[in-house]
Structure 1
């Protein structure tokens, strides 16, 4: 996977390009709630928190949250967008989380696992910071369980290039279980539509998905030309929905 430098390339547009509607956010919070303990408050970690898409909402729903993000510019945007009293943002990554051992009830990694460079180290570090029985909510795609968003079909090598970013499900499970973790659940979540096809096209033009860094200039030009032609046929049609994986693991 070609690495994305969020400090220079995406921090300005990321919040807009990857924004969640209230309905979408509510669906994800309910999915997280279904796999977390009932007690409140819960001490949470948002690992790879980016511009804080989930962090304030997690704090509002479950309890205090620490957002851990390696990109200084992404953290700056997150802090500017929301100053929730139960949220703090710290520099760090999944391989090096700057909190005490056993201090969190759960950790969320939403759309960030594919960026982790040293995954065995991250598995150990996540186990260190969670309490015994703590939950890891891994919202990522898997090469063999790919959600196939509707717009990918218009790009050369679209599905192939996007799927190649991610590990197969069995490989992720083996990595964690070999280190003493247990699989709590695997499910899919149908996120509500992000809006119209036209609105989705405008957000895709910001290129805030890792997928776009995997294509060359000709592939990008061809893909957007095809996508624009397809959307022009009915730009006000709702953007199609699809099922997205959620793997929950328990620290042993």
Structure 2
């Protein structure tokens, strides 16, 4: 793990990286709101705000990686995690982790989570996550094998995998809740919790472990959170 934002601060305008790597983020636009998460607090965005992580962190094209997150939204064509130069144009090899729409992604799967890069093609899932409930989503990439996977709630499912592993542009950094010009140019509307980035390809079992770990207990350690409760929130 090379970055993890648990969003358990519950106040302020900074999100802490609990991986020990020091990749803290700051509110960079608008006014994200602290809300209840899958365990502890989460951060909600209303379409005109985001968090900037001023760090490279890891390669997401020409190297193995995994990203996991909890998301809750009713919107499509919005990105909840972006690696770019923090402008409003999707430039060559900039990357987005977003909730797709058939009208813009060309995938025919409105509401499916997708990882996409400019001139890199997609790793596209097949499960609608735009139902206003919490979903655990993950993308993995194994560079040498040119193999990518999307997981939703611990279950693997890929509708399209043409991602070619285009190398990241040096100097690009990470934004939470930011959409870089495409697919819709509108920032994320919804909540996010427990975003993790790894510089390796997690297995299906490891993805499930990360999901379960993230919802095990609240920060006080007093309230066990069941999977059934999470699905109905």
| TM-score relative to the length of structure 2 | 0.27
- Asked which structure has the greater RCO (Cα within 8 Å, sep 6+), the reply is 2
Q: If you compute each CA radius of gyration, which structure gives the higher value, 1 or 2?
A: 1
| Greater strand proportion | 2
